Chain A
Amino acid sequence: MALIKFTSKGIYCKQGDFYIDPWQPVNLAVTTHGHADHVKWGNKAYLCHDLTKPILDQRLGADLNIQTLPYRKTLTINGVQISLFPAGHVIGSAQVRLEYKGEVCVVSGDYKVEYDGISTEFEPVKCHTFVSESTFGLPIYKWAPQEKIFSQIKDWIADNHDKNKTSVLVAYSLGKAQRLINGLDGYSDIYVHNSIANLNEGFIRAGVKIPETIRITPETKKEQLQKGIVIVPPALAEGRWIKNLTQAATGVCSGWMQVRASRRWRSADAGFALSDHADWPGLLSAIKATEAEKVFVTHGYTATFSKYLNSIGIDSEEVKTQYGNEEEEEKAEVVQDGIGNVVPGHITDKEETT
């Protein structure tokens, strides 16, 4: 019998009686990582990696029943051995490995294969069944090496300074923001939005080394921001706050920026194809390394990607899930109050936040 089933509540392991990244409340939610499309409020208990806990505390509120597990340690529930392996997506992100009577299944959540300098590096895990995302499952998505993108970002910042513009980088609070902070450390003062500063504090308390940043407050002077680097989540990218800065130039950091039409659609001043998801070669190499007999393809270019896998002899099936909308979710999460106090978990329309 298969180890996982795709149900209306999420990915379910019947033998162990728990769900992985469910989108409706359940008893036990094994959580791959802290992005809002993978972890919802209202589950009775959570199991996640040590470093995902501070994110859940931050985003879902305190007093949750959260059990943590370091990478590569095993926990047995109803005879099913559960272990977590690094997914390389964001800090604390994990692939969930399930083993039962010799049958192995890996649910990878979101992942990328390139080491980003701050999240634990992706580790391929051999298995019979593999569940893979396909956010960038088209051969047009091939990332340039991270150093190259960072040198482009630095050139852009230097050019903005020359022109007396304020450099505003738009990045998800969880993941991309820490990656940027790490990659731009020492280049200039980094000013971050509350939602990012709060997450960083959580990480620092949990022992993660995050370079120093400055939290933006209503007292922060425009001149300071202009001389430094500003990092904000997408919800603020088109807002009033940015318009008040000294000649803000916005740079969106996202894999979508690989394509010109997306760069223009976002109406940013610059686009950097810096992604926390695997690119086309990354997806293929990761899947091949699992040696899986069956690959389920979730969120992204599901139909195309699974069709391609089948065409190269990898048995694959597309699955409908509710993952893959971290950007929209983040917009819902950030409520702006003056310069931006954040109320976690509060849902509001985009119009109201901007």
Chain B
Amino acid sequence: MRRFTELIQQLEMSNKTNDKIAALVDYFNEADDLDKPYVIAMFTGKKPRRPVATALIKHWAIELSGIPDWLFAESYHSVGDLSETIALVLPPAEHLSNRKLHEWIIDLALLNGKDDDAKKEFILNAWNSLETQERFVFNKLISGNFRIGVSNKMLVNALAKQSDTESSKIMHSIMGKWQPSEISYLDLIAGAHVNTDNSWPYPFCLAYALEAEPGSLGPATAWQAEWKWDGIRGQIVKRNGELFIWSRGEELVTDQFPELHFLLNELEDGTVLDGEILSIKDGKVQAFSILQQRLNRKTINKSQLNDAPIGFYTYDLLEHGGRDLREDPLNLRRSLLVKVIEGLKNNEVVLLSPVIQFNDWEQLAEIRQGAREINSEGIMLKKLDSLYHSGRKRGDWWKWKINPYTVDTVMIYAQKGSGRRANFFTDYTFAVRDGEKLITIAKAYSGLTDKEIKEVDAFVKKNAVEKFGPVRTVKPELVFEIAFEGIAESKRHKAGLALRFPRIARWRKDKKADEINTLDDLRQLLQSTF
């Protein structure tokens, strides 16, 4: 546990990829062999069932630390993380334990089904035998939520380096089906489990955002352009008479999309399609908010099938006749893909994502302006001779997104941040005008520079009108331009609509509060996206 805690601290302290990889390599060189598969599982988001409810954990921590509830709440607000708050407020441990990470994880899993007294005894004992930092890690083990900035790609690179194995092979094996309790580290790295499993998907090839003009990519003739769809990246695998649908989150989502199940009879064994799961109605791609109604549901009813029918826009073929095509160039893969899709009978939902015809970059830029009309986020640029890489690799695939929507709003509430920022107002709520009233439209956490934060903070302190706990109502005076990716109807929000991915684009010091946008402006935008 101590070694793992050290790793977590190292990973948190650096934002340099090389440092993190070095820390991971050191860890996998030194750690207990039985711990390693659990760490890989954790970092790739394989979550065990939560053994103890958060409310109970919190309750016991408050009880043990002897502080009132409100003081715990304020501490939590300042720290910003429940596991950490608990670790910090508890009295110091009385004895220290040398138990290993996997032993803790196994014991935690065994708590499932036990009564609250037994759970409490175990948790309190654990807290009393771990140092503050270890306690924090232990609390995170209970919740299963480790957010420490280790991407799959980074982990894979570290494992590849540590074991001197090719990274695509590692990515492949950790994406497969395995249980940390059933596999040794060496078997996992060697991929012993994936060779016998039909379902395994390939690691997705990802694109970087294109910040410069596409002219910087060289002659347009070397590139294939497609629309960039705003759906769920998916891989459809057909092997040995079984069909599997994987999402980008490496989640098996086969059951969620019955519209695609006909492929079981239509695709040949040994076929893997890469593409985008979308809601497609009357041949038109729907907004992401429509697709959202179909996500993460255990059961699907008729009206959902009607309101948000699913389709699949495919743009790559990774396996054909059981052969891995990833080392073939894109144009070759594409021509095979065309054949596969054209060979499908009775098919209206699995379509080829169209290739955009263009002569030069200028023309493509013009075409790109029409992206929103077809609910596309912009254009994907793929080199015609590009291989299918594992993960993100700079150079061959680019996403050339259209600029986000923006709206001018006024700040009406501010709330203090957490941790060191507990002294600054960094979380703001923004409103647009609705007749004489102001109506809340988005909440955004900063996005400003440190200097701007301090300026806004000073304004809030001077212009607070009302105080609701940590929230201040401020004079509606500061105008901010909010950027967002989409807009959808919402019954939960007073405005009747919700913005997707809102963030502060810039502080419009040049504008006054009476120059902001109105709710009607946003309603019009909402209408035009359908």
**Interface membership of A304, Cβ < 8 A:** yes
Whether B84 pairs with A260 at a CB distance below 8 angstroms is: yes
Given A260-B81, A311-B68, residue A138 in contact with residue B419 (CB < 8 A):
no
Determine which of B14, B65, B67, B78 lies in contact with A259 in the assembled complex, contact meaning CB atoms within 8 Å: B78
Q: Which residues of B contact A307 (CB under 8 A)?
A: 70
Whether A139 pairs with B419 at a CB distance below 8 angstroms is: no
**Interface membership of B13, Cβ < 8 A:** yes
- Interface segment among A13-21, A102-110, A188-196, A262-270: the answer is A262-270
Q: Give a binary string over B49-90; 1 marks a CB under 8 Å from any A CB, 0 the rest.
A: 000000000000000010110111011001111001100110
**Interface membership of B420, Cβ < 8 A:** yes
- In this complex, what residue of B is CB-closest to A349? B451
**Interface membership of A258, Cβ < 8 A:** yes
CA distance A138 to B76 in the complex (A): 10
Interface of chain B: mostly helix, strand, loop or mixed: helix
* B423 → chain A closest CB, angstroms: 9
Given A261-B79, A263-B13, A268-B13, residue A139 in contact with residue B421 (CB < 8 A):
no
Given A138-B75, A139-B67, residue A259 in contact with residue B89 (CB < 8 A):
no
Taking each of A260, A264, A308, which has the highest tally of chain B beta carbons within 10 Å of its own beta carbon?
A260
CA distance A69 to B84 in the complex (A): 45
**Interface membership of B496, Cβ < 8 A:** no
**Interface membership of A233, Cβ < 8 A:** no
**Interface membership of B15, Cβ < 8 A:** yes
**Interface membership of A140, Cβ < 8 A:** yes
**Interface membership of B418, Cβ < 8 A:** yes
Q: Which residues of B contact A85 (CB under 8 A)?
A: none
CB-contacts of B1-59 with A (<8 A): 12-15
Whether A138 pairs with B13 at a CB distance below 8 angstroms is: no
**Interface membership of A227, Cβ < 8 A:** no
CA distance A308 to B65 in the complex (A): 14
CA distance A261 to B88 in the complex (A): 13
* B481 → chain A closest CB, angstroms: 25
- In this complex, what residue of B is CB-closest to A258? B88
Q: Which residues of B contact A294 (CB under 8 A)?
A: none
Whether B421 pairs with A259 at a CB distance below 8 angstroms is: no
Given A139-B67, A142-B92, A260-B12, residue A266 in contact with residue B79 (CB < 8 A):
no
Q: A261-B80, A267-B15 are in contact. List 14 more A-B contacts (CB 8 A).
A: A138-B71, A139-B65, A139-B88, A259-B419, A260-B12, A260-B79, A260-B419, A263-B13, A268-B13, A269-B14, A271-B13, A301-B74, A304-B74, A308-B71
Q: Which residues of B contact A308 (CB under 8 A)?
A: 68, 71
- Of the four ranges (under 10, 10 to 19, 20 to 34, 35 or more), the interface on chain B belongs to 20 to 34
CB-contacts of B475-500 with A (<8 A): none
Q: Give a binary string over A233-267; 1 marks a CB under 8 Å from any B CB, 0 the rest.
A: 00000000000000000000000101111111111
Taking each of A144, A258, A262, which has the highest tally of chain B beta carbons within 10 Å of its own beta carbon?
A262
Q: Which 10 A-B pairs have the closest CB atoms?
A: A261-B419, A262-B420, A140-B88, A265-B420, A262-B419, A259-B419, A139-B89, A140-B75, A138-B75, A304-B74
Number of A residues, CB within 8 Å of B: 26
Whether A270 pairs with B67 at a CB distance below 8 angstroms is: no
CA distance A268 to B9 in the complex (A): 12
Q: Which residues of A contact B84 (CB under 8 A)?
A: 259-260
Q: Give a binary string over A116-149; 1 marks a CB under 8 Å from any B CB, 0 the rest.
A: 0000000000000000000000111110100000
CB-contacts of B65-122 with A (<8 A): 65, 67-68, 70-72, 74-75, 78-81, 84-85, 88-89, 92
CA distance A267 to B85 in the complex (A): 21
CA distance A265 to B13 in the complex (A): 10
Residues of A within 8 A of B (CB): 138-142, 144, 256, 258-271, 301, 304, 307-308, 311
CA distance A339 to B79 in the complex (A): 37
Determine which of A138, A256, A304 lies in contact with B420 in the assembled complex, contact meaning CB atoms within 8 Å: A256
Whether B75 pairs with A270 at a CB distance below 8 angstroms is: no
Taking each of A139, A269, A301, which has the highest tally of chain B beta carbons within 10 Å of its own beta carbon?
A139
* A127 → chain B closest CB, angstroms: 26
* B113 → chain A closest CB, angstroms: 33
CA distance A304 to B13 in the complex (A): 29
* A76 → chain B closest CB, angstroms: 40
Q: Which residues of B contact A271 (CB under 8 A)?
A: 13
CA distance A174 to B121 in the complex (A): 47
- In this complex, what residue of B is CB-closest to A328? B454
Q: Which residues of A contact B15 (CB under 8 A)?
A: 264, 267
- In this complex, what residue of B is CB-closest to A261? B419
- In this complex, what residue of B is CB-closest to A312? B68
Q: Can you name 15 A-B pairs with beta carbons within 8 Å?
A: A138-B75, A138-B78, A139-B89, A141-B88, A142-B88, A259-B84, A260-B79, A260-B84, A261-B80, A261-B418, A261-B419, A262-B419, A263-B12, A304-B71, A308-B68
* B457 → chain A closest CB, angstroms: 13
CA distance A267 to B80 in the complex (A): 18
Q: Which residues of B contact A304 (CB under 8 A)?
A: 71, 74
* A335 → chain B closest CB, angstroms: 19
CA distance A300 to B13 in the complex (A): 26
* B211 → chain A closest CB, angstroms: 23
Q: Which residues of B contact A268 (CB under 8 A)?
A: 13
CA distance A272 to B79 in the complex (A): 17
CA distance A263 to B419 in the complex (A): 9
Whether B420 pairs with A266 at a CB distance below 8 angstroms is: yes
Whether B419 pairs with A140 at a CB distance below 8 angstroms is: no
CA distance A263 to B78 in the complex (A): 14
